[in-house]
Amino acid sequence: MDKRIGVYICQCGSNISDWVDVEKVREVIREENGVVLARVTMFACADSAQKEIVADIQQEPLDAIVVASCSPKLHLYTFRSVAERGGLNPFNYVQVNIREQDSWAHSDQPTQATQKAIRLIRAGIAKVQQAEPLTPVMIPVDNTIAIHGAGVAGMRAALELADLGTTVYLIEKEHFVGGRVAQWGKMSVTNQTGEEIVTEMYRQVIQRPTIHLFTGARILSATGSIGKFTLKLKLIPRYLNPPCDAIGLKKAMEACPIVVDDEFNFNLTKRKAIFHNFKSEFPALPVIDMNACTRCGECLQFCTQIDLDQQEKIIDLQVGSILLTTGFNPYEPKPGEFGYREIPSVITLQQFKRLLELSKGEFRFGGKKINRVAFIYCVGSREVEGEHKYCARYCCTSAIHAALQLREEFHVPYIYHLTRGIRTYGKQEILYEQSSVAGDVYFQFVEDDPPNVEASGDHVKITIHDLLTANQEVSVTVDLLVLVTGMVPRENDELEQILKVPLGRDRFYNEVHPKLRPVETVLDGVFIAGCCQGPRNIHESVSSSLAAVSKIYSLLNKGEIQLEPTLAIVNPDTCEWCGKCVEGCPFDAIEKAETDKGFVARVIESNCKGCGMCTIYCPTEAIDIKGFTNQGIRSMIDAMAGD
C-alpha cells in the first residue's frame, strides 16, 4: 500500500525561492502519487515549522515525510527527530537537497533549477515510498579486555581501565613484566630508572583485584568479533610453587650448573637456567628456563618448592575488546656493521645503557677504564636503501642523555657524537644544548659516506668526512664505540596471523589513520598502543595507551553498542550461497548459514559497516543495503529521468 506522504518545500528565506519557483514545484508535487499534502515554508528548520510538521504527521495522519531544503548534512538529524516526535520511524523521512545542489548551483538557470527541484523531490518521494522503518542494531559488549604486553603501555592501560570498572586480562609473553623499559636504566627528563618505573607500576597492578596477570602466556587463537572475542591462551609454568623460601631459592640458583647468556643484559652477562632479571623483578619469583634446563635436579636439593613436573595450561578468555601493547625490538646490527661483533669494544646503545646500570663508581668495559667514547647514530634507522627507512625518533635524545650521564656520573672526559643530524625535537632540544655546552663533540656524516671503523690495538679508530667542517677528514680513537641502534618491530608473526592485525610499510602495526584514529585498527574492537605501532619514547607510548583507554572505555562502558541500521541484508529466498559476497566484504561481515532450504549468506551485523561493497558481488542481487536498496535506487533513477 502506498504511504501517505507529506512534502515540505523550504524557501530558505529566499535562498531557494530566488531561483526555484517553489509555488510551481508545490503545484506539481501535490499531484504525485501518495502525496497527501505539499506545503511551502519560509524556513523548514525553524521551530514553528518543525511544530507544524509534527502536527501534520499526527492530524493527517502521514506515514512519511519529505523535506526539500538544504543539504542533509546540515539538517538530516533535525528532521529525523521531527519525524520521531510526530510518531514516525526516523527512516520514513527523506531530505532532498534543493539548495546546495540546486538553487545555488544553478542560480544562472532558474527555470531549469525549478525543473530539477521537481525531479529531485520526485526521487525523494520514490525513495521514501520504498523506505522500510529501521531501528538501530544493538550489540551486547562484555566489559572485559585482553591487553597483550605488560610493558609500561600495557600496564598503564590496565590500571586505568581497571579503575574505570573493566575486568582486565593482562597477558605477558615473558615471565616478568615491564617490557623494554625494565631494561632501560636512567631516563630523561626525570632521571628515574626503568626499574623504578616498572616496580611502581607493578605494585599498583597487583593491588587491583580486577587485573588478572598471565605471564609466560601466548595467544593461540582468537575468534569472535567486537563485543565478544574468545581467546585461547597457552600458559608456560614457572616450575616453582610460591611461596618460596628466599634463602633456599638463592642457594638453588647458585647450585644450578647451567650458564647461558643473559638476554636481559643484552648478553653482556651470564645467568643460570633458574633466574630472575633484577632484584625487585616482578613477579617476585624466579623462573626456570626450560629451554636451557637439563632437569639435572641440583636445585631441588635446596628448594622444595621447585616442581619440574608443572605442565603447560590452555585456557579460554572471553573479552569485549583487545588492546595490543607488544612493544618493539632494538635493532640488532649485522655482524661487521661498524665493527659490531668483530671489534670487542663496539656495542649497541641498549648494551651501553645496561652497562651504565651495572657500573658503580668507575666506568669500565672489558676490564679497562673507559676515557673516550664515541657514538655512531642512525644505525638501523633512516636507511635509504635498507628495510628500516624510518627514523626511530627516541635514539638521539636517549644517546645524548646517556652521554650526559657518562660525563656527570662517571666523569668520562672525551665524548664524540657522529650523527646524521640531531633530532632532539620539542623540549628535548635542551638536552642537546646541555651536551654541547658540556663539551661533547659533534660530527656529521651522510648515509652515502658512513664513518669507517677499524680496530687499533685495544682501541677503535673511527674516520669520518665531517659535514660540519666542510667535509674534512677527521679521525678519533676511542676506548668504546656505541652504535645508536633504533627500533624494529617485534617478531610477532604468530599473533599477526591469529588476529590479522594490519601492518604498515614499516612493518609495525598500523592504525586506521595516524591523525584521526591513531589507536584503532581496521579490526573493530582491536586497539594498539605503544611501540608496537612505531618508534616512540615512554611519554609518547603512555599517551597513546591513555588514548586507547578512552576509546576502549567509551566502547565498553555502556554494555552494548549501537550500530546505524543501514547495514547489509540478505534475501534468503533469492540467495543461492556462492560465497562471492564474502569476497567483496572487507570486514569479514558475512558468513555461511544453514536454513531449511539449504545454505545462505548471513550478515554479521556487528562487523557490517553498511558500505555496500558486497552488493556488487552477488549474482542473484540477493543482498542489499537497508536504506539504499536495489529497488529504491532504481525508482529514484526513474523519477530523475522524467521531465
Partner 1 sequence: METPTPKILVFSTEKISDPALDLAGLLKLHYSPTVHTIVLPCSSAVRPGWILHAFEKGFAGVFIAADGSDCPYGESCIEKTSKIVEKAHVLMREKGIPTERLKMAAVCSVCAELFVNQMKLFAGELSGERINE
Partner 2 sequence: MKEVDVLVIGGGIAGIESALNLANTGLQVLIVEKDLSIGGRMIHLSKVFPTLDCAACITTPKVSEAARHPNITILTNSRVMHVSQDENKLFLARVEQKPRYVISALCTGCQDCESACPVVVNDEYQYDLVGRKVAFIPFSIASPRIAAIDIDHCILCGACEKACGPGAIDFTQEPEQVMITAKSIIMATGFKLFDPNNIARYGGGRFKNVVTSMQMERQLVPTRPFNTVLRPGDGKMPDRIAYVLCAGSRDATVGNPICSQICCMYSIKQAQLILGALPMADVTVYFLHVRAFGKGFEEFYQQAKMMDVSFIKGKVGRIREQENGDLLIRYEDIASGHVKEASHDLVVLSVGILPTSGTEQIFEPEQPELDPFRFFR
Our finding on whether 66 is near partner 1 (CB under 8 A) is: no
616 interface partner picked from partner 1, partner 2, none, CB below 5 to 8 A per type: partner 1
How far apart are alpha carbons 69 and 95 in whole angstroms?
Answer: 7
Task: Pick the binder of partner 2 from 422, 464, 478, 531 (CB under 8 A).
Answer: 422
Contact map string, positions 144 to 183, toward partner 2, x by CB under 8 A: ----------------------------------------
Helices 152-163 and 538-556 pack at an angle, to 10 degrees, of 30
User: Which SS3 state, helix, strand or coil, does residue 381 take?
Assistant: coil
How far apart are alpha carbons 293 and 296 in whole angstroms?
Answer: 8
According to CB under 8 A, which residues from 32 to 71 bind partner 2? 42-43, 46-47
97 interface partner picked from partner 2, partner 1, none, CB below 5 to 8 A per type: partner 1
Residue 474: beta bridge partners? 464
Contact map string, positions 544 to 583, toward partner 1, x by CB under 8 A: ----------------------x-----------------
The grid coordinates of residue 118 equal 521537481
Our finding on whether 90 is near partner 1 (CB under 8 A) is: no
How far apart are alpha carbons 570 and 363 in whole angstroms?
Answer: 72
Going by C-beta distance under 8 Å and a sequence separation of 6 or more, which residues neighbour residue 239? 287, 288, 290, 293, 306, 307, 308, 310
Going by C-beta distance under 8 Å and a sequence separation of 6 or more, which residues neighbour residue 542? 152, 153, 156, 530
3 interface partner picked from partner 1, partner 2, none, CB below 5 to 8 A per type: none
**DSSP track, 593-613:** EEETTEEEEEE-TTT-----G
How far apart are alpha carbons 354 and 278 in whole angstroms?
Answer: 12
- Distance of closest approach, residue 48 Cβ to partner 2, in angstroms: 11
The grid coordinates of residue 124 equal 525523494
H helix runs in 269-372, sequence order? 349-358
Cβ atoms 508, 526 nearer than 8 A: no
- CA 176 to centroid of chain Cα atoms: 24
421 interface partner picked from partner 1, partner 2, none, CB below 5 to 8 A per type: partner 2
- Choose the stretch contacting partner 1; rule: CB under 8 A; options: 194-202, 218-226, 425-433, 613-621: 613-621
Question: Cell 583485584 identifies what position?
Answer: 209
How many amino acids of this chain bind partner 1 (CB under 8 A)? 46
505 interface partner picked from partner 1, partner 2, none, CB below 5 to 8 A per type: partner 2
Cβ atoms 381, 392 nearer than 8 A: yes
Cβ atoms 520, 242 nearer than 8 A: no
In the complex with partner 1, the residue whose CB is nearer, 100 or 496, is 100
According to CB under 8 A, which residues from 114 to 173 bind partner 1? 115-116, 119-120, 123
Our finding on whether 385 is near partner 1 (CB under 8 A) is: no
In the complex with partner 2, the residue whose CB is nearer, 360 or 515, is 515
**Closest of 569, 627, 602 to residue 133, by C-alpha:** 627
- CA 83 to centroid of chain Cα atoms: 39
Cβ atoms 271, 260 nearer than 8 A: yes
Cβ atoms 417, 399 nearer than 8 A: yes
Residue 55 CA: distances (Å) to CA of 59, 91, 552 = 6, 18, 42
Our finding on whether 248 is near partner 1 (CB under 8 A) is: no
393 interface partner picked from partner 1, partner 2, none, CB below 5 to 8 A per type: partner 2
In the complex with partner 2, the residue whose CB is nearer, 35 or 376, is 376
- Distance of closest approach, residue 585 Cβ to partner 2, in angstroms: 24
Looking at this protein, which amino acid is placed at residue 494? E
Our finding on whether 557 is near partner 2 (CB under 8 A) is: yes
Going by C-beta distance under 8 Å and a sequence separation of 6 or more, which residues neighbour residue 502? 509, 510, 521, 522, 523
Let me know if 633 is exposed, middle or buried by CB neighbors in 10 A (0-12, 13-18, 19+): middle
Our finding on whether 612 is near partner 1 (CB under 8 A) is: yes
Contact map string, positions 431 to 470, toward partner 2, x by CB under 8 A: --x---------------------------------xxxx
According to CB under 8 A, which residues from 466 to 525 bind partner 2? 467-471, 504-506, 508, 513-516
470 interface partner picked from partner 1, partner 2, none, CB below 5 to 8 A per type: partner 2
Contact map string, positions 510 to 529, toward partner 1, x by CB under 8 A: ------------x-------
- Distance of closest approach, residue 427 Cβ to partner 2, in angstroms: 5
According to CB under 8 A, which residues from 14 to 43 bind partner 1? none
Question: Applying CB under 8 A, which residues contact partner 1?
Answer: 71-73, 97, 99-109, 111-113, 115-116, 119-120, 123, 522, 566, 584, 586-587, 609-613, 615-616, 621, 625, 628, 630, 633-634, 636-638, 640-641
Can you give the binding site for partner 2, defined by CB under 8 A?
Answer: 12-15, 42-43, 46-47, 73, 77, 382, 384, 389-391, 393, 421-430, 433, 467-471, 504-506, 508, 513-516, 533-534, 550-551, 553-554, 557-558
